[in-house]
Structures are given as structure tokens and as C-alpha cells.
Structure 1
Amino acid sequence: MVDHHSFTPAERTERDGRNHVQQMLALDGEAQKLKARYRQWAQGGDEAYHVPGLLCDFMTAQTQHYSMGAPGRLHILDAGCGTGLVGQMLSTHGFTWLDGFDLNDSVIVEARKCEVYDQLRGGVDMNQALDYDTGTFDVVVCCGVFCDDNVDPEALSELLRITRPGGLVMISTQKGYDESHGFEAWLRKPEFTRMAERVHHLVGAPYSGRVTADYHTFRIHS
């Protein structure tokens, strides 16, 4: 008899991450309840990697909210794709038109093994201009890149540029990034405000283990 209540560690990670984000999305804007939920999460284990589940639910919710069309028809860029963990989960949720890039060529070798990306590029420095045409993508997702000693807030400008009008850019910023890089101040500058607006923001949400991050969704002006 199959035990349907048994989960592998990877399945538990995905399940827990998705449960967290569903509860947080339902509580969006209810600050006290959100804080209580984060306290409850912080008492859990140290090993869970929540990012793929979080981003898949954000992607599904936001693309539906803005009536962007069927997941498989959306051209998605996984910026800083690493070994392809986010891309794999996006693919299982129907987001199958995927491109990716990373600074590290060796992780691109691993990402290719996932067989979920249409195009992959290595050696891409997000602190430089990106070699994509303006308005190429419907959605750009970038997780685990905006952190200390990695990229500057100005790198967001290029992600916005290569996203079409009405499209979405979804990123994470790790705890402490705003303090060290002035990210929130940069979002008030004309170089951001003339291109996009922030339409969703989760503060201090689960990232990996007990490490937290902020999650942002930006919508390009139509």
C-alpha cells in the first residue's frame, strides 16, 4: 500500500514553501497577522529552501491578476538562473518558454541538464548592459542575486528595459541589502519611476532556512 503521507526532503521543502506563500498572500496587508506567521515560520527547521515555491505562486497569482495569458505563452527570463532550480519548478507549473543566464559558466552546464530552458547564456554580468533587445520578455524573475557583494540596484534598470510594457519583473533582495545598497531610495529615483511601479512587496519573508528576504514585483508602464 502506498503511503501518500510520506514525502522526500525535496517534496517537503516544496510543500512547506508553497504553504508559507499561500498563507502570506492571503494575509498581504495585514501586518500583525503577517508578523505572527513569520514568527511561527522562524520556529521551524533550518534547511528548507523556500524560493522556488514562493516564486511559482507569485508568478501564477500575478500573471493571472494582470490577465497576461496562459503560462506556456509567456516568455520568461530566469536572470541569475544558477543550476536551474527555479526554472525546473516554473516548468512544472506550465511556464515552459524559459530562457536563463548566469555569471558563472559552470552552473550553466548544470542548468542545461534540467532540459527546461530554450536558451541559456553564461558569463553574463548584471552590473553591465544586457545583450537582449528592449521589451523581449513578458516576465523576468531574479532570485538570490540582489544581495551583498553581488549586483547594485542599478542592475534592475536593465531587467526593466528588457521586459515588455505591461510585463512583470520579480526579484528578491536578501536581508540587509537595502541598508547596504540603498535599494528603497533607488526605487524613488526617476530612473526607476519613469519605467515601472512596484505592485507587490513582501518584507522579511522566508528565503532559505531562517534567512529572510524581501520579494518585489514591478510592473512596466504600459
Structure 2
Amino acid sequence: MADNIPDKILDAKEGRFPTTLEGIKQFYDEWAPTYEKDLAHEGYTAPRRSAETMAKCLTNKDAEIMDMACGTGLVAHELTRHGFKNIDGVDISTESLKICKEGGLYRRLICDRIGTNKLDINDDSYDGLILCGALLKGHLNLGCFPELIRIVKPGGPIIFSVSSNSKDTFDKFKDGKFESDLQELVCKGLWVKEANELIPDWIFNRPGHQYVYKVV
């Protein structure tokens, strides 16, 4: 540790993530017990902002929502504050999912990787989907979006965010590639863009961008 800052926070700030799927799983399995406490000190606003945006998109509190890459349940906590109660989650970290289960906010939890693989979820299952804090170096990239679109009903919002730091430094995101890849899915008729909002304090006092797309 340095200056009493947890090692995992230091690694996350500097983008020092494992490069393999198993490495990412181990990273978050180890971090799960202190994840929420650690991030509470770092001004992680993305879960709250994602839930606020979902509440604007979906006024029906019986809506079924997928919390993709749900971690320990930060997004679900925020969604329940807005009255949502039908929330499912997917994550690769078994230890994180144990904490989600203990919290009792999810109907169904699925342990699986998130990518081009087909998840154990039927087509058009959800009224909306949130992907929060997972578009990072060594984590997810835009290859996962066709699968996410598959499980959301036509007209449903997909809300996701990415740090400005990732957009500036991560090869898959920088130099406009992120937006061009998103637009390619628009051109394929899979979704339409609704919003792109700059968030000044996304995490670590760094800005980020929140996107809203609507499934076609």
C-alpha cells in the first residue's frame, strides 16, 4: 500500500489489470470483500448516474432490468432507490456474486464471461440494460454489444459508460475508434443513439462519458 490506499485501487487507477480472463476473475474475487468500501472513498458516481438515467428512460417500476458486469451490486442498490425491483445480474467473479446474493436485490444471478459468447438468457428478455464500469483495459470491449442487444427488447435502453482515461489511452477506444464502432452497430440497424453525456466526476476525480442507445 501507499498512503493507506488499497493496492487494488492503485492498480485500477493506473490501469494495471490482468490481461487474461482468469486473471480478471481472480482480481475481482480478491477485491470483492472490500470493493464497495474502497470505491466509496474514490467518488465512484457511475452506478448512481446510470440508475438515474434508467429511471428517466423507464418509468414503469416493474420493468425488468439487466445489470451486466454487476460486480458486488452497486448498480442494483441505486436502481432499488428508484423503485425498480426486477433486476438480474451477470458477472464472472464468483466472490462478487456471493455478495450480490447476500444483498438480496437480484432475482437471478449468472456467473459467466461477457463477450461474443451466447449467455443463458432468452432473446428480448429485458426492458433495459446497464453496463457500468466494465469498459476498461483488460475487461470488456465493443465485441460484447451484439449479445447485449440480443437480450434487450426493441425500444429498450442500453446505458453504458467509459472513463475518459480509457478513451485516451486504450487502443480499442482511443482516436475516435470507440464512437466509430458504436456507429457501425447503428448502421447495421441494431440500435440508435439517444445520448452521450460528459460526466465530470466519473471516478478517481476523472471524467467519463455515459452513453444511451435504444435497441431497434
Residue 67 (structure 2) aligns with: 78
How much does 1:105 deviate?
Answer: 1.0
Match of 1:152 among 113, 125, 141: 141
Q: Is the 8 A contact 1:175 1:204 kept in 2?
A: no
Between the aligned residues of both structures, percent identity stands at 22
In the aligned structure 2, how far is the partner of 1:98 from the partner of 1:77? 6
Unmatched segments (≥5 aa) in structure 2 = 1-40
Residue 169 (structure 1) aligns with: 158
Q: SS where residue 144 of structure 1 aligns?
A: coil
In the aligned structure 2, how far is the partner of 1:141 from the partner of 1:188? 19
1:39-77 CA-partner distances (Å, limit 9, x unpaired): xxxxxxx7322123211211111224xxxxx21x10000
How much does 1:206 deviate?
Answer: 2.2
- Cα separation, partners in 2 of 1:127 and 1:213, compared to 1, 3 Å: farther
Q: SS where residue 151 of structure 1 aligns?
A: coil
1:172 is matched by which residue type in structure 2? S
In the aligned structure 2, how far is the partner of 1:160 from the partner of 1:135? 8
Residue 49 (structure 1) aligns with: 44
Q: Is the 8 A contact 1:79 1:102 kept in 2?
A: yes
The TM-score with structure 1 as length reference comes to 0.71
Give the count of matched residue pairs: 170
Q: SS where residue 153 of structure 2 aligns?
A: strand
Residue 100 (structure 2) aligns with: 111
How much does 1:157 deviate?
Answer: 1.3
Q: SS where residue 89 of structure 1 aligns?
A: helix
Residue 16 (structure 2) aligns with: none
More strand per residue = 1
Residue 22 (structure 1) aligns with: none
Q: Is the 8 A contact 1:187 1:193 kept in 2?
A: no
How much does 1:204 deviate?
Answer: 4.5
How much does 1:178 deviate?
Answer: 3.9
How much does 1:141 deviate?
Answer: 0.5
1:197-222 CA-partner distances (Å, limit 9, x unpaired): 1101113542123122210111011x
Please identify runs of 4+ aligned residues in structure 1 that moved more than 6 A. none
Superposition map of 1:1-222 within 5 A? 47-64=42-59, 70-71=60-61, 73-179=62-168, 180-181=171-172, 182-190=177-185, 193-221=188-216
Worse overlay, 178-187 or 152-161: 178-187
How much does 1:184 deviate?
Answer: 0.8
How much does 1:192 deviate?
Answer: 5.8
- Cα separation, partners in 2 of 1:205 and 1:192, compared to 1, 3 Å: farther
The TM-score with structure 2 as length reference comes to 0.73
Q: SS where residue 111 of structure 1 aligns?
A: helix
